[in-house]
Amino acid sequence: MKTTTAGVRPLEEGIRTDFREEMDYASYLGLDQVLSAQHPVSRPEHHDELLFIIQHQTTELWLKLVLHELRAARAHLDEDDLLRALKAVARVKHIQRTITEQWSVLATLTPSEYAEFRGVLGSSSGFQSYQYRAVEFILGNKNEKMLPVFRGNQEAYDLLDGLLREPTVYDAFLRLLARRGHAVPDEILERDVTEAWVEHPDLIPVLTGIYRDPSSAWDIYEACEDLVDLEDAFQFWRFRHLRTVQRTIGFKTGTGGSSGVDFLKRALDLTFFPELISVRTEVGA
Ligand code: HEM
Ligand SMILES: N[C@@H](CC(=O)c1ccccc1NC=O)C(=O)O
């Protein structure tokens, strides 16, 4: 009878083992920088602060990729390459699902554990996440009142100031629709892109026409549904964040100075693409 042995798997002849003179896994990934970028400030160091830091840093790394892909999607839309834009959006949706799922790790931080080191955080808060703001801006939730928060960080300020002045992914999508001959209102095509998006009622009939006859523009119809997926996924992240906040600090005031849960709740009422929601009221009405 074959017995199970703990044993040791022999290394194959061809496996490389000498990286004294060439790039290896750690040097390619810059692991010396990445794995030495966690600096707990609690003294003595609290066991759970590493979790708190890594949860944020992994989210920020994923947000860096989200921004990279949304910039690419916007560029592909500007080049009328809708399918290539949708491939970038599809990747973003998977990233969003990943960062939403990882809330389950932070949810293992109990209120008592968090209270033991929350004090060392000072006024720092995720409210000051410039990559989160950048993703909100490129999707259309622009707010120039956010920029002063980043006066002390020129790189962050310039990133957000740039995105504030650029068209959003939705602008690029609607301009593509106009180039395809759809009656996108001029007020949209000529809008001040530094402003937050507000619903344009005259756009709804254009989208209703597509939703009532998808065969007239299947790729546009699919793109609309993908944008709604993107918004849903963003809201799911906001909701998981809100639930995590509620379970760790209840209804305390936030370190960033907000009312906390009630302030976060109001973000759930926002929508990046209001007309794509309103069209659902019209279809089948
Ligand atoms: C124990 C865990 C957490 C607590 C208690 C918490 C609490 C809060 C609170 C109270 C706010 C409102 C602003 C303020 O007054 O501070 C906030 C905002 C925010 N937090 Fe967290 N947070 C936690 C984890 C995270 C994590 C892991 C991230 C990931 C990056 C994050 C990202 C954000 C963002 C982006 C905002 C701004 C949201 C908005 O403006 O709507 N938070 N957080
Ligand atoms: N605003 C949070 C503090 C907090 O969560 C935080 C602090 C420093 C860096 C990131 C944070 N995450 C999200 O806000 C609180 O009120 O406890």
pLDDT of residue 125: 98
Supply the pLDDT for residue 209.
96
Q: Encode burial over 144-159: b for 16+ CB neighbours within 10 A, e otherwise.
A: eebbebbeeeeebbeb
Query: pTM for the whole thing?
Result: 0.96
* Identity at 134, one-letter amino acid code: A
Beta-carbon contacts of 208 under 8 Å, excluding residues fewer than 6 positions away, are 279, 282, 283
Distance 92 CA to ligand 2 centre (A): 24
CA distances from 48 to 26, 54, 256 (A): 26, 10, 21
Residue whose C-alpha is closest to residue 271's, from 166, 196, 164, 185 = 196
Q: What percent of the chain has pLDDT over 70?
A: 100
Could you count the other beta carbons within 10 Å of the beta carbon of residue 4? 5
User: Which residue has a Cα nearest atom 37 of ligand 1?
Assistant: 127
Neighbour-count burial for 166-191, b at 16+ CB within 10 Å, e otherwise? bbbbbbbbbbbbeeeebebbeebeeb
Among 50, 127, 259, residue to substitute to test ligand 1 (most atoms within 8 Å of Cβ): 127
Phi-psi region of 122 (alpha: psi -120 to 50; beta: other; left: phi over 0): left
Mean pLDDT confidence for 54-71? 98
pLDDT at 181: 96
- Ligand 2 pocket check for 254: Cβ under 6 Å: yes
Kindly tell me if the per-residue pLDDT of 285 is higher than 90: no
Residue 56 in contact with ligand 2 by CB distance below 6 A: yes
* DSSP state for residue 194 in the 8-state scheme: T
Summarize the annotated binding site as residue ranges. 52-56, 114, 118, 241, 255
Mean pLDDT within 55-73: 98
For residue 76, give every residue at least 6 positions away whose Cβ sits within 8 Å of its Cβ, in sequence order, or none.
Answer: 82, 84, 85, 88
pLDDT of residue 148: 97
Is the reported ipTM for this assembly greater than 0.95?
A: yes
Q: Where is the binding site for substrate, in residues?
A: 52-56, 114, 118, 255
Q: Which two tokens stand for residue 81?
A: 């390459």
Q: Which ligand is nearest to the CA of 251?
A: 1
Task: Note the pLDDT of residue 6.
Answer: 84
Instruction: Name the residue of 255, 261, 262 whose CB sits within 8 Å of the most ligand 2 atoms, as the mutation to test its pocket.
Output: 255
pLDDT, residue 2, reads 73
pLDDT of residue 100: 98
In whole angstroms, give the CA distance from residue 150 to residue 163: 14
CA of 242 to the centre of ligand 1 (A): 8
Cβ–ligand 1 contact at 246 (below 6 Å): no
Query: pLDDT digit string (tens) for 149-173?
Result: 999 999 999 999 999 999 999 999 9
Q: Is the CB of 125 under 6 A from ligand 1?
A: yes
